[in-house]
A and B are shown apart, each in its own frame.
Chain A
Amino acid sequence: MSRISKTLMGSVAGLAMMSGAALADDVEVLHWWTSGGEAAALNVLKDDLAGKGIGWTDMPVAGGGGEQAMTVLRARVTAGNAPTAVQMLGFDIQDWAAEGALANLNDLAAKEGWDDVVPAALQRFAKHDGNWISAPVNVHSTNWVWANKKIFDELGIAQPTNWDELIAALDKIQAAGYTAVAHGGQAWQDATIFDSVVMGVGGPEFYKAAMVDLDPAALGGEQMKTAFDRMAKLRSYVDDNFSGRDWNLASAMVIEGQAGVQFMGDWAKGEFLKAGQVPGQDFLCFRFPGTQGAVTFNSDQFAMFGVADDQQASQVEMASSVMSPTFQSAFNVVKGSVPARTDVPDTDFDACGKQGMKDLAAASASGSLFGSMAHGHAAPAGVKNAVYDVVTAHFNGEYDSATAVEELVAAVEGAQ
């Protein structure tokens, strides 16, 4: 990197330090949790801070799973007006840390023993060069299947545990006149399924080689072709109308009994609960067949930006609140995700939540916990979007599986 660019980085960080928008003992928080349930969850944090005498300046910018907020953040930092804390995902945290814009939370982390309770797979994002720079709030796992229990019972389908059973189940559902798979044709939704399929085809090692290490041999290999073949197979269980559909409308299809299953992250649970359904009674949650024991995740974190000295105290307080077991439990019960630390009691969670927590701890212990490619936790944004391009094009019939494999290798290489 040239000297000039280094100088610029320094001045960006310097400007960020001078941030003066919020009052000294307030925290300004940039986030995209704006819908009812999300905001309610965030209010838990706000109230907690209020109890410590710290005010909350809210700066919500929704849209595109945080894309909009990241654009705004760039403008804010460039203008020297960085917020105290920013909701952030995966590689963005690392990128900002590399620009030198983030604060150092080592003292607090050491005092509270974060290293022991946060899974290593999450620390990979929450730490930069060995320094804690952000406080993880939750873990969403993305390899879930949501099924309509009535349809399963009616057709006598048992919970499928591998690919062949899944296909047999989907065939049955389709033959009975239902839409087998409720799906929305948006790039990230296609990619969410792709994550699970890749994990199912080759297990954790293959997933890691292809999606995390971006090994060209794995990306271009026979197993990857199988993965694309399976995507094409799944495509045949989707209704004609899937393109562009929002994920929650797909959930509604399962809830209403029009469709058998949906492959979606654990946030889908909120839709089921909101419709008055009970896990185990009205709907089923289980891991994508063939991925049991492994978890693909994404994790929301609060990255702490460098702020003026008089604001550091409240920033540290906020980080401490975020990491407290009571908050982690209260927040995640409302949000539908699971806590980012593995020592939180699961008493308040429902059946799906309890299983999610158990799976997370087990996967973390066995080294089968991986960031989700679809949700930007396996590879940086450029690669993620390049994978989207190929997966979506293939799912929409633009490529056959062989071409898709070639394109995938080329696209991933081009994006690095």
Chain B
Amino acid sequence: MPYRAKLQDWLPRLVLSPSVALIAIFVYGFILYTSYLSFSDSRMLPSYGLVGFANYERLFGLRHWETALTNLAIFGILYIVICTVIGLTLAILLDRKIRGEGILRPIYLYPMALSFIVTGTAWKWFLDPGIGLENVVQTWGWTDFSFRWIKDRDMAIYTVVIAAVWQSSGFVMAMFLAGLRGIDGEIMRAAQIDGASNFNLYRRIIIPMLRPAFLSAFVVLAHLAIKSYDLVIALTNGGPGRATELPATFMYSYTFSRNQMGVGASSAIIMLIMIASIIVPYLYSELKEKKA
């Protein structure tokens, strides 16, 4: 039955095609549209008069675009690394037949469930020296204790990291836990019989097997880092001064509050280029090695 066989041959691609088409239009089409806007004189609404590289020149003349990029580098690296380390550690620890796992797991996970529209306020209060941690520790008797990062131009970005890690490290933990549990028990047992120490067992055998989980974690975290918007708005609103501005807040501000859509679009394009230059090589190496 050649007809049936032919259908079976094409079916997979047919099934995949709606997704591909949607993504082609609504992601890549929109990116093209935005790159056009970045060369246009758009201000409040899109407009199609071309102005060459003027928007890009404006963009790189702006001091707080520089701040935003530096902040993204600091924030992105710390956030991804810390979340991965905490997530992996917690997953490994939780995987050791812990009593009370059923209680601990949701505690680690729940921050992801909350919207930053309001948890931002809770964090803001907690980090605020006057009413939060500093004040509490001082009333406990350690009067020298000082924790005023959120008010400090050079340190405020790290408070954003603290709150962001709080929100997503639990989810990363869950991904690693799923990965760990997916590893065949036989492999573990065999390795243990071979006398591999616990540390070596994880380093040599288990962690390399978690590769897909690392990929997922990286993609999820990088995505969250780049899109961190609510978090910054709620926690510091870009302040003190503009010290915690990130590209996402910058882009939003120029596109929508400052009526300079052209500059906003050019910042989006620069960001996309940066994202692509980091992620494409990573994906390429990850996906290539997967060759079965």
A residues sitting closer than 8 Å to B (CB atoms) are 1-2, 4-5, 8-9, 12, 64, 67, 70-71, 74, 77-78, 95-96, 99, 185-187, 239-241, 243-244, 380-382, 385, 389, 392-393, 395-398, 414-415
Q: In this complex, what residue of B is CB-closest to A71?
A: B256
Q: In this complex, what residue of B is CB-closest to A7?
A: B48
Q: Across the A-B interface, how many residue pairs have beta carbons closer than 8 Å? A: 96
Contact between A381 and B64, CB atoms less than 8 A apart: no
Query: A74 is contacted by which of B44, B58, B237 (Cβ under 8 Å)?
Result: B44
Interchain nearest-CB distance for A316 vs B (Å): 26
Interchain nearest-CB distance for B226 vs A (Å): 19
Greatest chain A CB density within 10 A among B150, B151, B153 is at B151
A380–B242 CA distance with the chains assembled, in angstroms: 20
Q: Which residues does chain B contribute within 8 Å of A243, judged by CB atoms?
A: 150-151, 239-240
What are 27 A-to-B residue pairs whose CB atoms are below 8 Å? Answer: A2-B49, A8-B45, A9-B45, A67-B256, A70-B256, A71-B257, A74-B45, A77-B45, A185-B239, A185-B240, A186-B239, A187-B237, A187-B238, A241-B128, A243-B151, A244-B124, A244-B236, A244-B237, A380-B259, A381-B259, A382-B260, A385-B258, A392-B239, A393-B242, A396-B241, A396-B243, A414-B62
- A240-B129, A389-B64 given; name 8 further pairs at CB < 8 Å: A74-B44, A95-B259, A185-B240, A186-B239, A240-B148, A241-B151, A244-B237, A396-B240
Query: A186 is contacted by which of B47, B130, B237 (Cβ under 8 Å)?
Result: B237
Q: Which residues does chain A contribute within 8 Å of B45, judged by CB atoms?
A: 8-9, 12, 74, 77-78, 99
A186–B151 CA distance with the chains assembled, in angstroms: 12
A12–B45 CA distance with the chains assembled, in angstroms: 9
Q: Which residues does chain A contribute within 8 Å of B253, judged by CB atoms?
A: 385
A5–B40 CA distance with the chains assembled, in angstroms: 10
Contact between B47 and A244, CB atoms less than 8 A apart: no
Q: Which residues does chain B contribute within 8 Å of A5, judged by CB atoms?
A: 41, 47-49
A155–B33 CA distance with the chains assembled, in angstroms: 64
The 5 closest A-B pairs by CB, nearest first: A5-B47, A241-B130, A396-B241, A2-B49, A243-B240
Q: Tell me if B61 is interfacial: C-beta within 8 Å of chain A.
A: yes
B residues sitting closer than 8 Å to A (CB atoms) are 41, 43-49, 58, 61-62, 64, 124, 128-130, 148, 150-151, 153, 236-243, 252-253, 256-260
Q: Which residues does chain B contribute within 8 Å of A389, judged by CB atoms?
A: 64, 242
A382–B61 CA distance with the chains assembled, in angstroms: 15
Contact between B49 and A385, CB atoms less than 8 A apart: no
Given A243-B240, A392-B239, decide whether A4 and B257 contact each other with a Cβ distance below 8 A: no
Contact between A64 and B239, CB atoms less than 8 A apart: no
Greatest chain A CB density within 10 A among B153, B240, B253, B260 is at B240
Greatest chain B CB density within 10 A among A2, A186, A241 is at A241
A398–B152 CA distance with the chains assembled, in angstroms: 12
Contact between A382 and B48, CB atoms less than 8 A apart: no
Query: B129 is contacted by which of A241, A395, A414 (Cβ under 8 Å)?
Result: A241
Interchain nearest-CB distance for A401 vs B (Å): 16
Given A78-B45, A385-B258, decide whether A244 and B242 contact each other with a Cβ distance below 8 A: no
Contact between B240 and A244, CB atoms less than 8 A apart: yes
Q: Which residues does chain A contribute within 8 Å of B259, judged by CB atoms?
A: 95, 380-382
Contact between A398 and B151, CB atoms less than 8 A apart: no
Q: Which residues does chain B contribute within 8 Å of A77, judged by CB atoms?
A: 45
Contact between B258 and A398, CB atoms less than 8 A apart: no
Q: Which residues does chain B contribute within 8 Å of A4, judged by CB atoms?
A: 48-49
A64–B229 CA distance with the chains assembled, in angstroms: 13
Q: Which residues does chain A contribute within 8 Å of B64, judged by CB atoms?
A: 389
Query: B239 is contacted by which of A71, A78, A187 (Cβ under 8 Å)?
Result: A187
Contact between A415 and B128, CB atoms less than 8 A apart: no
Q: Which residues does chain A contribute within 8 Å of B128, judged by CB atoms?
A: 241, 244
Q: Which residues does chain A contribute within 8 Å of B260, judged by CB atoms?
A: 382, 415
Q: Which residues does chain B contribute within 8 Å of A244, judged by CB atoms?
A: 124, 128, 150-151, 236-237, 239-240
Contact between B256 and A95, CB atoms less than 8 A apart: no
Contact between B150 and A95, CB atoms less than 8 A apart: no
A74–B240 CA distance with the chains assembled, in angstroms: 29
Q: Which residues does chain A contribute within 8 Å of B61, judged by CB atoms?
A: 414
Q: Which residues does chain A contribute within 8 Å of B243, judged by CB atoms?
A: 396
A187–B257 CA distance with the chains assembled, in angstroms: 14
